[in-house]
Each structure stands twice: as structure tokens, then as C-alpha cells.
Amino acid sequence: MSQLEDPAPANSALHSAGPRRAASAPFLRAVRAMLARGKRARQDAACEPGAAENGAGRLEQGFCAQDTVTSVSGVPLMRRTERAGARMPRTISAQGAALIKRFEGCARLRRDGLVEAYPDPGTGDDPWTIGWGATGAGLKRGERIGPGTVWTQKQCDERLARDLKRYASEVAHALGTAPTTQAQFDALVSFHYNTGAIARATLTRRHIAGDHEGAAAEFRRWNKAGGRVLKGLVRRRAAEERLYRGEGT
């Protein structure tokens, strides 16, 4: 105990310092206020347009630094997907749907007004297609589209509406929060509707990385069916690329 200091002097010092601390209180409050103003100024500066860099070193306009997080790949992702003027498209537009209908067509319309299925032009067999490019599951549970499948025009139109909603949802999921215009989204839905490849395509990865020029160039690579280049696919990919670039179809 002899080596320990008596707490009494310390307490006495604290009590005796009371008037000095009270006198310095206004000064301390002023210092704290100055520091707080400086912190707010730094935060406001970080929120100026162009403050957040993307993975390629370019500035993304209108994003606040604290609104972005960096993914494993190093590409900044928006923490809040909706800021003023930055709403992400989730449904295909009338222009995008028209592009799909133009290239899919509603082929094999019979004289009786019904529409019949036809084989894939690249393979001469599967996958069989009907209406506006519908493949796979038929209208009835367990049914598959194939030789002999026949639908009405109304059934073809209803199937297209359901499929466009599903494919648009899959594209939106694949893109996540990557900045995307409506035209780009429409082009990617058309691409996915035809290929089913939005989740694995290099095109998608380039778009998410912000390399829109590189993504646009990827469309033209998807021009084969059954190992052969098809003129119809060449024309479709060119139209999708133009739409993606914002040049119309």
C-alpha cells in the first residue's frame, strides 16, 4: 500500500479544477462546432457529381462515394439503386418487344387461323418453336412443344407476354445494380430471349463492368446455330447492337 498514491490529492485537484473547466466550456464547444462543420464539408464534397470512380477509372456522374460498395471483382456497385434520375429498367419497352416480334415472327400460320410449331432452322429438329419464338414447355402441364403442336393466335400472344416478363426479370437479376439505359435493357432482353445466355455471356460481364463499347461488340459473336452462321441471326444481332448503342433498330 505504501507504493500507491493516496487518491485524496487527485480528488482535491479535480474539485479545485472545477471553476477552470467551467470557464473553458464555451471555448470547447466552439472547437467542437468547428470540427463538425469541417466534417460535414468533407462529406458534401464527396457527394459532388463525379466523386465515385468505377472499375475502369472513369467517373460515374451523380453517385455519392458512400452510396457505392466494391464487389469482389473491384467493380463499384450502387448501395441504393434509385437516386434522382437513376431508376433501373425492369420491364421491356414497346420498342424492345417490337424488335423481338420482328425477328421471331409468328410463323406457320395455317389457313384455318391456327399456328403450328416448326423445327429449329439450324438443327432441323429440336428445339421446336411456335408462335413468337416459344420453345420448351407447352400450354398443358408436362407438354413439350414439338411436331404437331398447334396454338391459336391468342395463345401465342399470351405466351409472348408471359415470356417477356420472365426474360426481363432474368436480365434484371443478371445485371443487378449496373447502370443500364432502357435501350440497353431492351437489347439484352432480346438477346436473352433468343439465346438464353444472359447469365453466362461475356457480353453481360462487360456491361456490368461499365465497358459498354466492349459489350456492344459482343452481340455479333452470337450468330451461329447448329455450328453454322445464319443470316437471320447476323441481322438480329446487328439490330440488337444498334439498339444497345442507342441508335434505334
Q: Which residues belong to the active site? A: 104
Q: Which of 163, 153, 109, 113 is nearest to 133 (CA)?
A: 163
C-alpha cell at 20: 477552470
Burial of 226 (0-12, 13-18, 19+ CB in 10 A): exposed
Q: How many CA atoms lie within 13 A of 12 on its CB side?
A: 4
Tell me the three cell numbers of residue 226.
Answer: 447448329
**E strand or H helix that includes residue 224:** strand 224-225
**Cα-Cα end-to-end distance for the chain:** 91
Distance CA 83, CA 63 (A): 8
Tell me which DSSP letter residue 117 carries: -
Cell of 26: 464555451
Give alpha helix (H) positions in 77-121.
Answer: 94-104
CA–CA dist 134, 130 (Å, integer):
5
Cell digits of residue 99 = 424488335
